[in-house]
Structure 1
Amino acid sequence: MIPVPLVRRLMKLRIKVRRNKVIVLAAAVFLLALIFSIMFMYFEKVGFFTAFYWAIITMATIGYGDITPSTYGGRIVAIIAAIAGISTFTALVSILAEYFIESSMRRMMGMHKVKYKGHYLIIGQGGSVLSCLDELKRAISMGQAEDNPIVVVLPSEEEKKRFPFEDVEVLVGDPTNKDTLQRARAAEASYVLLTLEDDSKSVFVTLMVKQISNAKVFVEALKQESFSLLKQAGADRVILSRTLAGRLLASSIFEPEVVDVIDDLTTSTGNYDVTVLTFPELSELKFGEAWQVLYKQGYLPIGYVENGIKLMPPLDSQLPRNPKVVVITRVSS
């Protein structure tokens, strides 16, 4: 079996060579047309534009017949132009066709390069990528997140074939490879979300992304001891997924209803959602007063943001200006 990285490098090299061939052939066609135009002008005593038009039409083997040579010299030039045109135009068209076909194949295989800026970049595999994408798409549809393009990087073509979303740009590649990050335009991304199967890879990719980009990097960690390493690598937020899962499993024994509530609040398909919203009209009000206003609007305030999250604050505590309030809201169907 041929290694996939080797195939990618060979295809990349072939495209560069082909681009050079297209330029050389296009220049050759133009130069030949110019030479035949000058020769046709000399023998047939016509203007340059007319001669150049005749040369292009003859070399392309279209032959409208509106301009025909009347001298022996002109007819000889026409014979040479027709033969040269068949070879050069055929070569040029075939190379262009092959280039576009190969570009389509690269896109089908996920080996192409995106052209986005300010996009969301999700790197990983498995259920975490799908649940992350579900939640992000829902947040965008509800106006809770910026409506930017989403790019997903998967490790293999098998993962790409199983990927259920057709409206998302999908690339295939090793995220520890700099070429993969370049194809995904990680340097231009606004957010990079990592959910890899190995924490050491997550640390390495976080370092690489932070070296080339100002994007915020959010990482799923599998082990508690990886938390500090990822923070040192520059991760803006680290989620300990297995630790949270373990807590929920234990809570299922003695407080299963709490697990149901957490599952509902943290799932995009649930009935309720926890979110943080800004309410300028509540500036410097008492929390109790703000609670009454928001409850009538369909929100259940449970705290606000000021030097951290303040949950269940005293009712007489004063909100800051343009307060960010933590609320529970019903999710519309």
Structure 2
Amino acid sequence: MFHVKQPGHDLMARQADEHSGKGQVKLPRHAVQAPLRQVARRVVIATLVMVVTVLLVYLDRDGYNDNSDGSVDFLDAVYYSTVTLSTTGYGDITPVSDFARLINVLIITPLRVLFLIILVGTTLEVLTERTREEWRLNRWRSSVRDHTVVVGFGTKGRSAILTLLAAGVKAEQVVVVDPSAKAIDAATAEGYTGVIGDATRSDVLLRAELQKARQVVIATQRDDTAVLVSLTARQLNRGAHIVASVREEENAPLLKQSGADQVITSASAAGRLLGLSVLSPSAGTVMEDLIQQGTGLDLVERPVIKAEVGLSVRETGDLVVSVKRGHRLLGYDDPAASPLQLTDRLITIVRASPPGSPGEGLKSSVKGNVWRQQQG
């Protein structure tokens, strides 16, 4: 059952998101230490500088004079170190011996400079971090286009992204939208841009620059959420190719009416694979090889080359499953599929090469060319 949003709901939700961190765009960070860890490391260094200064003063306490009682104890050493390192310098405790003054010149003064650098550096880091992130975000917004928006970073969303990467899509061209901050942190750690928020809301999808995206993958956990996301995405981008996943087959027509170009029914697909594995374990293994990325067999779509024009489907060097001609998808045994035309595209079954092998690099190159030709 779907709920109609009342006027002012988006504004109130947006204000709540600003306090909770939702709707925030997170760009991937490579080999950058966390801000809290940086501050903690500097606090530790500043504390060590303070401890060293206290020990130097206390061990040479006879070389200092306290105007109040003439002697310097441990508390006086801590007090002197504090006011000295902070450049306050009240003058009530002073070095009087030559050795104490030499230690102040050669050791304590450099420690004071180091202490100030740590404090000022931490302050500047805090002040400039937001400015730096805003600059990176603005640069990303101005440059990103024709990217892929993946709604949901669960098992389905991750698998879809891995398939796209194997086909030549760059990680920088993938934007993940998920309501879970942990999921977005995982996505940015893998090099993707992340947006925390509810993808059924247009302001969240606008933060993902969906209006400039080329394709959208909807891999949510609930079918009603997928329908709302599809409606919102199609409203923001009329030309994007939207592929969605649903659990129940009865919801697939509703999702297509909502704007999805293709709908994958996960429950029925899993059920068919289970039934096929019972009837024919070998056929089930072949189907599983086709589904899994990088193992066994793989499906690749490629254009028809000039040498294949005029040939029949069976005369090509590849195992052709279907022929895409215009908006029609012809089976390999369809008489209309042969002879092949230059504008046709072939869906073929190939052997998946293991990662890192020479065949894998060649296959990735072929897939990348196919991907670019598909998008062009």
TM-score, scaled relative to structure 2? 0.55
Name the Cα RMSD after superposition: 3.4
Match of 2:196 among 172, 175, 193: 172
Tell me which amino acid in the other structure corresponds to 2:212.
Answer: E
Deviations, residues 223-259 of structure 1 (Å, cap 9, x unaligned): 1121111111111100001110011112221111111
1:304 aligns with 2:323: yes
SS in 1 for 2:243: strand
Contact kept, 8 Å, 1:112 with 1:171, in 2: the verdict is no
Match of 1:155 among 172, 179, 190: 179
**1:314 Cα deviation from its structure 2 partner:** 5.7
Rounded to whole Å, the distance in 1 between the matches of 2:215 and 2:336 is 36
Match of 1:201 among 214, 225, 239: 225
Contact kept, 8 Å, 2:147 with 2:215, in 1: the verdict is yes
1:325 aligns with 2:346: yes
**1:178 Cα deviation from its structure 2 partner:** 2.0
1:256 aligns with 2:281: yes
Contact kept, 8 Å, 1:302 with 1:327, in 2: the verdict is yes
Deviations, residues 255-300 of structure 1 (Å, cap 9, x unaligned): 1111110111122121321222112311222334x33xx1xxxx22
Match of 1:274 among 283, 299, 320: 299
Contact kept, 8 Å, 1:113 with 1:183, in 2: the verdict is no
1:161–1:98 CA distance, 2 compared to 1 (3 A): closer
1:8 aligns with 2:17: yes
Contact kept, 8 Å, 1:114 with 1:185, in 2: the verdict is no
Rounded to whole Å, the distance in 2 between the matches of 1:316 and 1:226 is 32
Match of 1:283 in 2: 309
1:133 aligns with 2:161: yes
Deviations, residues 200-220 of structure 1 (Å, cap 9, x unaligned): 111111111111112111100
Match of 1:17 in 2: none
1:230 aligns with 2:258: no
Match of 1:118 among 142, 146, 166: 146
Deviations, residues 154-174 of structure 1 (Å, cap 9, x unaligned): 211122344485211122111
Rounded to whole Å, the distance in 2 between the matches of 1:198 and 1:170 is 20
How many correspondences in the alignment?
237
**1:128 Cα deviation from its structure 2 partner:** 0.7
Deviations, residues 84-109 of structure 1 (Å, cap 9, x unaligned): xxxxxxxxxx99976643467899xx
1:101 aligns with 2:116: no
1:212–1:318 CA distance, 2 compared to 1 (3 A): same
Rounded to whole Å, the distance in 1 between the matches of 2:204 and 2:337 is 53
Contact kept, 8 Å, 1:279 with 1:323, in 2: the verdict is yes
1:165–1:246 CA distance, 2 compared to 1 (3 A): farther
Rounded to whole Å, the distance in 2 between the matches of 1:316 and 1:277 is 15
Contact kept, 8 Å, 1:264 with 1:272, in 2: the verdict is yes
TM-score, scaled relative to structure 1? 0.62
Tell me which amino acid in the other structure corresponds to 1:268.
Answer: Q
Rounded to whole Å, the distance in 1 between the matches of 2:249 and 2:319 is 33
1:105–1:310 CA distance, 2 compared to 1 (3 A): same
Rounded to whole Å, the distance in 2 between the matches of 1:216 and 1:245 is 24
Rounded to whole Å, the distance in 2 between the matches of 1:264 and 1:132 is 16
Match of 1:33 in 2: none
Rounded to whole Å, the distance in 2 between the matches of 1:277 and 1:198 is 33
1:189–1:100 CA distance, 2 compared to 1 (3 A): farther
Contiguous gaps of at least 5 residues in structure 1: 13-93
Tell me which amino acid in the other structure corresponds to 1:328.
Answer: I
Contact kept, 8 Å, 1:112 with 1:183, in 2: the verdict is no
Contiguous gaps of at least 5 residues in structure 2: 1-11, 22-121, 355-376
1:181–1:315 CA distance, 2 compared to 1 (3 A): closer
Q: Greater relative contact order: 1 or 2 (C-alpha under 8 angstroms, separation 6 or more)?
A: 2
State the identity as a percent: 25
Contact kept, 8 Å, 1:287 with 1:314, in 2: the verdict is no
1:185 aligns with 2:209: yes
